[in-house]
Amino acid sequence: MGKSITKAGLFSVEKDDWEQFIEMMDDSAESFSTWENWKISLDQTKIDLFNQRIDAVEVFVDLEDFEDWCSQKGLPRNEASRSRCRRGSTKEGT
């Protein structure tokens, strides 16, 4: 029997929301310079996870909801918080 496939969500940002995303994140200096570069990295991460039998889907989170969620939890708006975030709607990215 083969191993079962695990599912995982990856915090994702629509291209139209990129500037707002960069402005609101505490770690924006560490982020990618463009949405296109970030998307390439995200797609590579999805491939890497798939090779580990993890089915990763993009989770598109409303940025204002994310900011509110971080404030309520007392968390910085950074990569660690994006990984923990469970709010918002999910749809598979293209």
Question: What is the number of structural domains in the chain?
Answer: 1
Please tell me the distance from the alpha carbon of residue 15 to that of residue 52, in angstroms, as a whole number. 28
Please tell me the distance from the alpha carbon of residue 77 to that of residue 21, in angstroms, as a whole number. 10
Do the domain assignments include residue 18?
Answer: yes
Dihedrals phi, psi of 90, to nearest 5 degrees:
-115, 135
Do the domain assignments include residue 1?
Answer: no
For residue 63, how many other CB atoms are within 10 A of its CB?
18
pLDDT of 88 > 70? The answer is no
The pLDDT score that the predictor gives to residue 6 is 87
Rounded mean pLDDT of 26-44? 87
- Chain-centre distance of CA 25, in angstroms? 12
Range of the domain at 68: 6-90
Res. 47 pLDDT band, cuts 50 70 90? very high
The pLDDT score that the predictor gives to residue 2 is 59
Dihedrals phi, psi of 56, to nearest 5 degrees:
-100, 130
pLDDT of 22 > 80? The answer is yes
